[in-house]
Amino acid sequence: MIDERTLNTIADCWVKFRKTQTVRDLDETCRSVICALLLRIAADDLTWRDDPELKDDVEMCTRL
């Protein structure tokens, strides 16, 4: 089970990501968290390639 601190970090990073709209603008911690989420989503659902914004972020996360 994930502890509350970890869940808060994930939630905070998601809020920051939604405000910036790009992975590049996040600090290193949040970039790592959001990239982990986006790469997991991309592995599960190949339709991410049809969304230009998501495609840019997933491709950037793949390079990291």
pTM for this model (two decimals)? 0.85
Distance between CA 38 and CA 35 in Å, rounded? 5
**pLDDT tens profile 49-61:** 898 888 899 999 9
Candidates 47, 58, 51; CA nearest to 24 is 58
Candidates 30, 29, 4; CA nearest to 18 is 30
pLDDT of the residue at 2: 82
**pLDDT tens profile 23-50:** 999 999 999 999 999 999 999 998 888 9
* Alpha helix ranges (H) inside the chain: 4-20, 28-44, 52-63
Radius of gyration of the chain (CA): 12
Distance between CA 45 and CA 64 in Å, rounded? 20
